[in-house]
Amino acid sequence: MRITKSAIVLSAAALAAGLVGAVPASATADVPGLQITQVGYNAYGPDTIYNRNQEFVDVKADGAAGRAVNVTGLTVADQWGKSHEGADDNPHGCNTYKVTSLPGITPIDGNVLLPAGHTIRVYSGAGTPSVSAGGTVHAVYMDSRCGYHGHIWGNGGDTAWITLGSNSESFAYDFDNGYTVKP
């Protein structure tokens, strides 16, 4: 990940002011109880419709006070999807996924409650929603038909967004010669 001069200056200012937290300069953390923990942005080999599930975003319930988080309506999007949210030029909801249910979780009064420590993994491609053997990773599929063969995460850099109600959180990354990146 490339670090800009402004990020270094901002980090130094935060350190001097005693404001250093767990969130790097390239991320914002404004969705209570949730955090973006990983972005798989670069599929192995050329981008084809067959390897788009190598691209994903992980969103984890941070476990604050051991409480579950109501993720009903949580939206996961890339920068383009976020900037075109509800716009006339995005009638198909390209580059976005909205949580209405999760595998392995029974809604309570219409609310999907993600237990503390559990992760939602949103794949770009198609598939059958599933739960990991340990029961803590809930895999869902965007089934993107947008982007290049359904690959929506920019290999050279992009921003992953999660939005829940009026709260949003983002994680921006640059190409770092890998396949996944963590905040």
Give the residue numbers spanning the domain of 156: 5-181
Contact 174, 2 (CB under 8 A): yes
> pTM to 2 decimals?
0.80
Cα(first)–Cα(last) distance of the chain, in Å?
10
Helix (H, G, I), strand (E, B) or coil at 152: coil
pLDDT tens for residues 14-50?
Answer: 333 333 333 333 556 689 999 999 999 999 988 888 9
Number of compact structural domains in the chain = 1
pLDDT tens for residues 98-131?
Answer: 999 999 999 999 999 999 999 999 999 999 999 9
Contact 114, 37 (CB under 8 A): no
Phi, psi (rounded to 5 degrees) for 33? 85, -5
